[in-house]
Structure 1
Amino acid sequence: MAFTAAESKLVSIFVQSILYGIYVTLFFTTTDALLRRREGCGTLRHDMVFVSLLMFVVATMHVATNFSRIILAFVVHADAPGGPAAFFNELSNFTQMFGSTLYVIQTLLGDGMVLYRCYLVWERKVAVVVIPCLLLLGSTATGIGILYSFDKVVPQASIFVVQLNRWITAFFSMTLVTNFICTALVAYRVWSMNRSTLSFRQHKLRPIMVLIVESGAFYSATLLALLILYNVDSWFQYVVLDAVSAIVGIVFSLIMRRIATGISTVEGETALVEPSAIASGIQLSRTSFRGGTKGGTEPESPGEGA
């Protein structure tokens, strides 16, 4: 049985709340790890702290907006003509516009972080990120186009109408391609820099999980699911759409936590460790492959990669 708009919104607020709860935990533990890094004579990454805080604020505002829309739809407008479904189709409604603006901002923040991560991992080579930069500009333009179209579309129009479909499909597509390119580049770079530790035969699935976390591949997979659901006119796309704001924060909190705790560096060096090693705060050693030359294995200094 196909989901209706009202049913999808109820499921989406449930899923988003669970993911947001996970994100809140990760956000505070990551922030604590970043601050402890400074106490341990490391360098505090002010840019990482700022972006992490900004993502958290946007995600919090987004889930709060969705809760308010649920209350408005199922309580305030429950007996109005068309019921909750009609309320959700009021695309020019302030809460719809505000929530969509937050979604666009969080998505662009996520794309920007993926791009910046790729730039750092590839030793700040501008040529590597030229195409993703252009795609990010395109995503910004189409995101603005979506918000403008929401205000101009006919009343009670579906989210799938042609006037919106072109803008939304373009936005999702550019975001997906940006993430796919950057994810592939980061995954390849991380693997090539850490071949000795990322041994698939020896560690089985663990290297795959490391690459997924380091490259932000889960975020790209979410965007692919969102694009497919929207283009088959499934109301279930609301569930994935509302989950994105928390997923963006979760993915990048995991990456920043690995960097803050010394498991990874900003440039992409990483290590496979047991959970007990992380809990006890053991400082890791890794083999450097920068410049294609294998160096000696030595402990990373507290300030390295900052």
Structure 2
Amino acid sequence: MALAQFPLKNMFIVAAWLETCLYGIYFSLFWFSVYINSRWTRNGHRPSQVMFVSSILMFVVATAHVAMSCYRMIRGYVDFRNAPGGPVSFLAVIPDWTHTFNDVLFTLQSLLGDAMAVYRCWILWNRDYRFVILPFCLLLVSLVSGAKVTTSVADASTFKFDTSLRIWITLFFSVAVAQNIITTTLMAVRLWLTEQKSMRFRMGSGAFLPVIRILVESAALYLFLEILLLVFSALNYNVQYILQDAMTPVIGITFGLIMVRIILRAQNQSSHGRARTIGSMALRRIVMDISIPIEDGPDPKMEYGRESENTGIDV
């Protein structure tokens, strides 16, 4: 049995309300991240400039999206309240430039989030391109499908899209889910392998497990909403548009949570000693106790030096 569609006049206002609530969380989180980044910089550390600039771009996009959503609500529920069809007569007009603009912002935010996930993988794997080939290819697919969906939706007249357009929409959301799972897994695997190597050289254990937890926990909300969005899109259920508006601040929240939690952890650890890093992520100080036997054969120092380079730890 087909799902009963959510009334459009209710859908639009719920979408705006949810996006505004999530944007309020994102607004506070973003400015807190700016504050701790500035403190981190004053203490002599150099946070990743790519990550910081990307966080600013995400914030600008999310702010523009929520501002346009508020403008559309005012136009629909105030200016068109007495028009034939009510607020829906304006809000459901897909070719309107305000609707197209919001779609472009949503697509741009999704691509920014995916691009930063690929960048983090590249950094963690010591800038080895082999480990990001698949995520990068998926990013290109997202770019093409996102552009196709945005331009095609702008030409549509109603929310009842044809089969070919629905296939492109499903492809875009499917790739986003796959991208999230793959990049998060790659980062977690890299940190887990480094953890195993640190134990092998008696460098202590547990240094990287908290970072794995940060990555997985912070990405959980984003992945959960992506899966829901994919399911509702495949079912052609219009609740997907509520989730779509919510995704714009959620992507920023996910990115911001990872930045804030890692920097706070690094600050806490550096207060007890010099912070170490893997890629661009600061970690706690690691105490090393290495015994080097004197015997014939390869120089143990050289063997250790090569192994430590593979872990990506600054030693």
Q: TM-score range by the shorter chain?
A: 0.7 to 0.9
Amino acid at match of 2:206: T
Structure 2 residue 276 is matched with structure 1 residue 267:
no
Comparing 29-38 with 84-93, greater Cα deviation is found at 84-93
Q: 1:165 to 1:38 in 2, by over 3 A?
A: same
CA, structure 1 residues 207+92, in 2 after alignment: closer, same or farther (shift >3 Å)?
A: same
Residue 257 (1) aligns with residue 260 (2) = yes
CA-to-aligned-CA distance 1:128-185 (integer Å, 9 cap, x gap): 11111111111111111112112322x3x11544353122112111222122211221
* Partner residue in 2 for 1:72: 75
Deviation string, structure 1 residues 191-224 (Cα, Å, up to 9, x no partner):
3334632799xxxxx888434246x343222211
Seen in structure 2, the aligned counterparts of structure 1 residues 265 and 233 have a Cα distance that, compared at 3 Å, is farther
Structure 1, unaligned stretches of length 5 or more? 201-205, 272-283, 295-299
Partner of 1:47: 50
Larger RCO (alpha carbons 8 Å, 6+ apart): 1
Q: Report deviation, 1:80.
A: 2.6
Q: Which amino acid aligns with 2:104?
A: T
After superposition, the Cα gap between the structure-2 partners of 1:83 and 1:182, relative to the gap in structure 1 and judged at 3 Å, is: same
Residues 290 and 114 of structure 1, relative CA distance in 2, 3 Å threshold: farther
What's the Cα RMSD here?
3.1
Give the share of equivalent positions with the same residue, in percent: 32
Match of 1:26 among 14, 24, 29: 29
- Residue 197 of structure 1: which of 196, 206, 211 is its match? 206
TM-aligned CA distance change 1:198 to 1:14, over 3 Å:
farther
Give every structure 1 segment of 4 or more consecutive aligned residues whose post-TM-superposition deviation is greater than 4 Å: 206-209, 268-271, 286-294
Report whether the alignment pairs 1:63 with 2:66: yes
CA contact (8 A) 2:184 2:215 kept: no
Distance apart, 1:113 and its partner CA: 0.7
TM-score normalized by the length of structure 1: 0.80
Q: Specify the SS of the correspondent of 1:41.
A: coil
Report if the CA contact (8 A) 2:214-2:258 is conserved. no
Contact 1:213–1:254 (8 Å) recurs in 2: no
| Bigger radius of gyration among the two | 2
Alignment-derived partner of residue 117 in structure 1: 120
TM-score computed with the length of structure 2 as normaliser: 0.78
Residues 9-52 of structure 1: CA deviation (Å, up to 9, x unaligned): 21122211111111111111111111111110112432222111
| Residue type of the alignment partner of 1:130 | I
- For these two proteins, the number of residue pairs brought into alignment is 278
